[in-house]
Amino acid sequence: VPNLQGPRYVSPAPSGGFVVSEECGDVKVFTSSRKLLCSLSNKYGHRFGNPAGVCVDMDGSILVADEQQRTVHLFPEHGAPVCLVSAGLRRPAGMACSSFGHLFVADAGENCVKVFKYCVRPP
């Protein structure tokens, strides 16, 4: 996949595509045939500081750690972005989601992995 602006982290998406964060820029979503599906900045009107870790949860929502803003946002397929973590991160980097609603965030600023439980849909 050419023409990325400092690709940093990549994650597979349930559709067979993938998500890529770009340094000091954007997060892009690609189809399984490597065609650009969308830019999260354009689709949601969201301004990233320095997007880092990305992952996709069981519902197909994209989660993005922002190293500069020290946050984690969830971008659902439909609807507005949701800030999942707004405090307690010094330098969020890599992330992973579990099928049990756990979010694992590598915090390079504190040399640890932080675990969060989240539920976007009502149980």
The domain limits of the chain are 7-117
> How far, rounded to the nearest angstrom, does the alpha carbon of residue 86 sit from its chain's CA centroid?
14
- Greater confidence, 94 or 24? 94
* Domain 7-117 superfamily per CATH: TolB, C-terminal domain (2.120.10.30)
Residue 99 has pLDDT above 90, yes or no: no
Q: What is the DSSP string of 28-53?
A: EEE-TTS-EEEEHHHHH----SSEEE
pTM of the model: 0.93
Residue 15 has pLDDT above 90, yes or no: no
